[in-house]
């Protein structure tokens, strides 16, 4: 029976928080000793250090080189695809129960390494220890949940009705072939593992291209899959830029499917590039997520939930709350309490125990924040927000809260992927729903109200795939595998099906009808 990993929550429940902290800090010491090493690409089970390497720079402190990743060239990518295609012949024939066993073994291996993986995440993308361990927990959850789904569905082999007495009919879901898996920096273990697991457990093979900001996490994942029993060539790793490595995968005719998590522009570009191909394109492409706070809300709970959702991991989540849609009659009271709460959130080195907000991922994001701050100050009123100059060696910025922008302003409409929250007031609930739906995205949304009619309307009228009502732990983030399918509507996704759900694995397979006449 599947259960979520929930490492930190279990530590709290068992009164073992100090054990949790000691394990994480010990893992930091372990990762410290590995900093600056060269790391390979992996093709057909073989690790290759290329002649061309690039630095994996920590956003915590740009003087820290987490390691040097190997940059794959066209020859490497061609070889990786060929290896995956060759391995597919054997991997697809392996009984689904054996693939389940391998994925569960990978989950067990990852569970044993969870603190070291979390510490690596902190160095690579700047997550604090709580966010980092949750990232690894989610990866373990994907492995176990998808294994459960494969088993519960009998490998997606279903006996059908028989129209004639001498015929036996089956519906069998079969893999496509080789998938390109293109993963993001913000959940380098969880999302990468989830997408690779979806492809592998259903009988496909993989060529993985991780974010160039977090390449070393991906190397750890591939090694875990291989240690668990994934055959040589069934999972291959090529690292480098999206422009070079990613583009070669996306345009390859030898790739049979693509699964991608990242920006809308890149996701749509992948879709357009392959518009004349029958290959499946599975994408999650971000959000511009809103939380409505009505006059009937419990304000204190809503303040905490929105701050967590907007500023956790510096707003660098597809599900981050970036729009506060608030009843005009309570706006002043709410905003004052939100500012009071937000100013107390500690910004700093995420390795430190009490840090809530670490750095943004890279110089590009840091520079973008400065541009948003400058323009928002002219077009609206910045209630809070600044570059954290005293932490000069990393990419540190404060949460930004903006009021007074027009409803059509670009910062109200477009995803920024930064800790930026815009405030929009409303007078009638009809208006709140209209504002919430007035963006191109439809990923997550929240509401705080004790009005049953408003809750019902929110569920029925809000155009987003993941909805939360009165959720104090986070207004729009924190979907749990097996409990809250993570699905994007509109420009937040193409498939209309969510990860961590009962409908995810069939995206990696195509149906085959089998009829056999009985003797």
- Residues belonging to the active site: 284, 318
Which one-letter DSSP state was computed for residue 112? H
- Where b means 16+ CB within 10 Å and e means fewer, 103-116 reads bbbbbebbbebbbb
> Which residues of 275-419 form beta strands (DSSP E)?
281-284, 289-293, 321-327, 381-384, 400-403
Count of beta carbons in the 10 Å neighbourhood of residue 358: 29
- Please, are residues 396 and 347 in contact by the beta-carbon 8 Å criterion? yes
- Where b means 16+ CB within 10 Å and e means fewer, 251-260 reads ebeebbbbbb
- Please, are residues 87 and 385 in contact by the beta-carbon 8 Å criterion? no
CA dihedral sign of residues 310, 312, 316, 317: negative
Short-list 313, 319, 386, CA closest to 350: 313
- What is the Cα–Cα distance from 290 to 468, expressed in whole angstroms? 11
- Please, are residues 176 and 510 in contact by the beta-carbon 8 Å criterion? yes
For 385: left if phi > 0, alpha if psi spans -120 to 50, otherwise beta; the answer is left
Short-list 202, 15, 188, CA closest to 118: 188
For 415: left if phi > 0, alpha if psi spans -120 to 50, otherwise beta; the answer is beta
- Please, are residues 234 and 227 in contact by the beta-carbon 8 Å criterion? no
Alpha helix (H) ranges present in 328-391? 331-342, 363-379
- Please, are residues 127 and 136 in contact by the beta-carbon 8 Å criterion? no
């Amino acid at each position: 029976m599947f259960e979520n990993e929930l490492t930190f929550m279990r530590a709290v429940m068992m009164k073992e928080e100090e054990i949790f902290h000691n394990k994480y800090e010990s893992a930091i010491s372990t990762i410290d000793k590995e900093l600056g090493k060269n790391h390979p690409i992996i093709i057909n089970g073989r690790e290759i250090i290329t002649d061309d390497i690039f630095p994996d720079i920590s956003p915590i402190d740009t003087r820290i080189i987490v390691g040097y990743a190997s940059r794959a060239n066209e020859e490497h990518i061609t070889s990786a695809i060929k290896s995956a295609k060759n391995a597919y012949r054997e991997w697809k024939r392996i009984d689904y129960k054996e693939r389940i066993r391998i994925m569960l073994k990978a989950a067990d291996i990852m569970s044993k390494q969870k603190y070291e993986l979390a510490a690596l995440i902190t160095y690579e993308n700047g997550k604090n220890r709580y966010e980092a361990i949750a990232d690894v927990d989610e990866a373990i959850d994907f492995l176990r949940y998808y294994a459960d789904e494969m088993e519960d569905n009998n490998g997606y082999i279903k006996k059908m009705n028989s129209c004639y007495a001498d015929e036996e009919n089956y519906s069998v879901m079969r893999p496509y072939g080789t998938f390109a898996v293109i993963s993001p920096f913000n959940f380098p273990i969880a999302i990468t593992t989830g997408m690779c697991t979806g492809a592998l457990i259903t009988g496909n093979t993989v060529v993985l291209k991780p974010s160039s900001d977090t390449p070393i996490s991906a190397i750890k994942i591939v090694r875990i899959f291989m240690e668990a029993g994934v055959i040589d060539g069934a999972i291959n790793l090529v690292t480098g830029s999206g422009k070079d490595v990613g583009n070669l995968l996306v345009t390859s005719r030898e790739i049979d499917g693509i699964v991608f998590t990242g920006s809308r522009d890149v996701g749509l570009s992948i879709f357009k590039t392959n518009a004349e191909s029958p290959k499946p394109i599975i994408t999650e492409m971000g959000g511009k997520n809103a939380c409505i706070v009505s006059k009937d809300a419990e304000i204190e709970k809503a303040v905490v939930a929105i701050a967590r959702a907007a500023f956790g991991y510096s707003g660098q989540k597809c599900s981050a709350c970036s729009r506060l849609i608030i009843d005009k009659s309570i706006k002043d009271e709410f905003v004052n309490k939100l500012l009071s709460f937000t100013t107390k959130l500690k910004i700093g080195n995420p390795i430190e125990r009490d840090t809530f907000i670490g750095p943004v991922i890279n110089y590009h994001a840091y520079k973008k924040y400065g541009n948003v701050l400058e323009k928002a100050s002219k077009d609206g009123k910045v209630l809070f927000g600044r570059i954290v100059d005293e932490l000069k060696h990393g990419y540190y910025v404060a949460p930004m809260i903006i009021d007074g922008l027009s409803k059509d302003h670009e910062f109200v409409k477009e995803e920024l992927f930064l800790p930026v929250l815009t405030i929009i007031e409303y007078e009638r609930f009809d208006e709140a729903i209209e504002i919430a739906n007035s963006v191109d995205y439809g990923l997550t949304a929240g509401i705080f109200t004790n009005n049953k009619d408003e809750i019902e309307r929110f569920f029925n009228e809000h155009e987003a795939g993941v909805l939360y009502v009165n959720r104090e732990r986070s207004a729009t983030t924190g979907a749990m595998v097996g409990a809250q399918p993570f699905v994007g509507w509109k420009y937040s996704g193409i498939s209309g099906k969510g990860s961590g759900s009962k409908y995810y694995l069939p995206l990696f397979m195509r149906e085959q009808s089998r009829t056999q006449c009985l003797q």
